[in-house]
Structure 1
Amino acid sequence: MLDDQALMQALNSTPVTDGRRRDLWREDHGVDGWAREHGGLGGDEERRWLLTARDALQAVESGTPGEPRLRRVLAGVRRVPRPCATGIEWHLEVPPERRLAVELVLAWADVKERMPGRLRPCENPECRLFLLDRSRANTARWCSMRTCGNRIKARRHQARTREAPRSG
């Protein structure tokens, strides 16, 4: 099963660089490297399912419809209990080319359940990244304080400075 880090890598695979949205998964088949790193098979079908799942999760987390695509990814999937030496293990019954996409959606669902309200888009409107807020106060607003946080704060300061009456 995929972990939080794999989920965040997938969600954050469409950054904005120099004002231009990039898709690291589509560029040079970057999705293939991610898939191999997480036990994927490779191939066009797996790639299509992963892109569908990633795009749907990004949409849902950004407040736009993505549920129909998630339903397509999860259609016909079953979790089956199997006895083992330590108790019960749950196994996915899913076509092999869809396994990683399903695991990505399940990792997202797990984070939503374990950490409600902590997965969200960066508040910088020019950013396409997401953050998983692990702070006690749950007040993180930016994917990175160094980049997005400082930019937003600098813009607000400049706006206040322009609006402030000049003495003199």
Structure 2
Amino acid sequence: MLGADDAVTAALAARGWPARPLADQPLGVDLLNTRWVAGGVAYDLLDHDDLTEAWLADRELPTGRPVPRRQLREARDAVAAVIADPADHAALNALLDRGRVRLAVDEHGQVEHEDVADPAWRAAWACLRDYLRLREATPDRLRKCANPDCVLHFQDVSRTSRRQWCSMTACGNRFKARRHHDRVRGQA
């Protein structure tokens, strides 16, 4: 279930890794946050089969053998590139070409079926599709943390749409304190 990080939490604890920040983001953004930095150390779920499988299980996404780490990394990189530069969508479009949405009708109305020919791409394609849904609904609210040292992304759901930091305590206050320290040191 999205937002429940049960399998990932257990797998991280087994490795002695810190908890994953911002695990409550929508799938299209959560893919970006499969890598993070804690205490100056970089962590990446998609570098390990067991952690990737745990993330896929928690998100109820298809997995298989081999574990689709490469495909998920490519999707993550393409989404990050588009958030950094909305005009940089070539890689994202190339990956979206790996699948399509097939429409049908049943007794409840319109039904959409994801049609991805290569099973190894199903999970990555589902993440890309969710990112597109988010981008369509709230294009100016998908952001990278304003702290240049942070790699996290988030969907800004604040009332004013002015959120800049993944976390005010983790990045906002630290960045502001560092900027103030640099200004004071520069005046001395």
TM range (shorter): 0.7 to 0.9
Give the 5 Å matches for 1:4-153: 5-27=26-48, 29-37=50-58, 38-44=60-66, 46-63=68-85, 67-95=89-117, 96-153=119-176
Give unpaired runs (5+ residues) of structure 1.
Answer: none
Classify 1:19/1:65 alpha carbon distance in 2 versus 1 (closer, same or farther; 3 Å).
farther
- Supply the distance in 2 between the matched residues of 1:47 and 1:125 (Cα, whole angstroms): 26
Distance of aligned partners of 1:55 and 1:43 in 2 relative to their CA distance in 1, 3 Å threshold:
farther
Equivalent residue, structure 1, for 2:7: none
Q: Deviations over 1:126-160 (max 9, x none)?
A: 00001211012111010000110110121133234
Measure the CA separation in 2 of the matches of 1:66 and 1:55: 11
- What residue ranges of structure 2 are gaps of 5+ in the alignment? 4-24
Please tell me the root mean square deviation across aligned C-alpha atoms, in Å: 2.4
Aligned residues of 1:35 and 1:42 also touching (Cα < 8 A): no
Q: For residues 142 and 63 of structure 2, what CA distance do their matches in structure 1 show? A: 28
Deviations 1:2-56 (A, max 9, x none): 8952223211111122223321221454222112232312222633222211121
Aligned length: 164
Q: CA deviation at 1:77?
A: 2.1
CA distance in 1, matches of 2:180, 2:114: 52
Matched-pair identity in %: 34
Larger radius of gyration: 1
Question: 148-157 or 66-75, which moves further after superposition?
Answer: 66-75
Aligned to 1:82, the other structure's residue is in SS state strand
123-132 or 41-50, which moves further after superposition? 41-50
Q: Aligned in 2, Cα 1:29/1:57: closer, same or farther, shift over 3 Å?
A: farther
Distance in 2 of aligned mates of 1:90 and 1:73:
19
Residues 164 and 46 from structure 1, CA distance in 2 versus in 1: closer, same or farther, beyond 3 angstroms?
closer
Q: Distance in 2 between matches of 1:85 and 1:34?
A: 34
| TM-score, with length taken from structure 1 | 0.84
SS of match in other structure, 1:136: coil
Q: Quick one: which amino acid aligns to residue 13 of structure 1?
A: T
